[in-house]
Amino acid sequence: MITQAVQIAPAMISWLDLFGIAVFAASGALAAARQQQTLVTFSFFAVITGVGGGTVRDLLIGAPVFWIQDWRFAATCLVTAALVWVTPRNVWNARALDWFDAVGIAIYAVFGTWKSLTLGVPLLPAMMMGVMTACVGGIIRDVLAGEPSILLKPEIYVTAAALASGLFGLLIYLSIPVLIAAAMSALAGFALRAMAIWKGWGIPAYRG
């Protein structure tokens, strides 16, 4: 039942994948911009942030690595890096990176779950692959930039990805149409992350 449901409208969701890549690539380029790096570093950060999570996902589920199979993904990252490079610095809000990340994790958590399900991964591991797809690229970006990883902060980040992927998996299990399930899930994940950015929401830390 789940496999049949996720086969619907693959072309539309694939275009969302490209959009998610562009958003994540922009966040990587903005991380390089904060440190006033070269265009080479902009490009590297954009690529590693854009494809990092999806690469780990594909390796774990035994799928061909997506950006090696389709040149559009690497090209999207490089073009995005160039656009950020030529854009005046004052165009970007101080928290633009956070907002790009918010959009990226919402879209990519859903896409990662969808792709895993289409390849026969069981529901729970597929949802976990969605979280990994959404978060790993940003974590790698932070490590390379020498910044504290969002993973180690109480601010809601991974939780928003988990909400998007978990809700998508649940709606698919309930036979909700794929595009409706994807839109609802991505909006829910984005809304949670947006509130974390806007209101400073976080989850309780261990206090011993």
Residues 26, 31: Cα–Cα separation, whole Å: 9
Q: How many contiguous H segments (helices) and E segments (strands) does the chain have?
A: 9, 0
**Residue 14 has what pLDDT?**
67
Residues 127, 165: Cα–Cα separation, whole Å: 5
**Residue 18 has what pLDDT?**
83
Question: Between 62 and 202, whose confidence is greater?
Answer: 62
Q: What is the pTM of this model?
A: 0.85
Residue owning tokens 């309930």: 174
**Residue 8 has what pLDDT?**
47
Name the residue ranges covered by the structural domains of the chain: 2-199
Residue 4 has pLDDT above 50, yes or no: no
**Residue 47 has what pLDDT?**
95
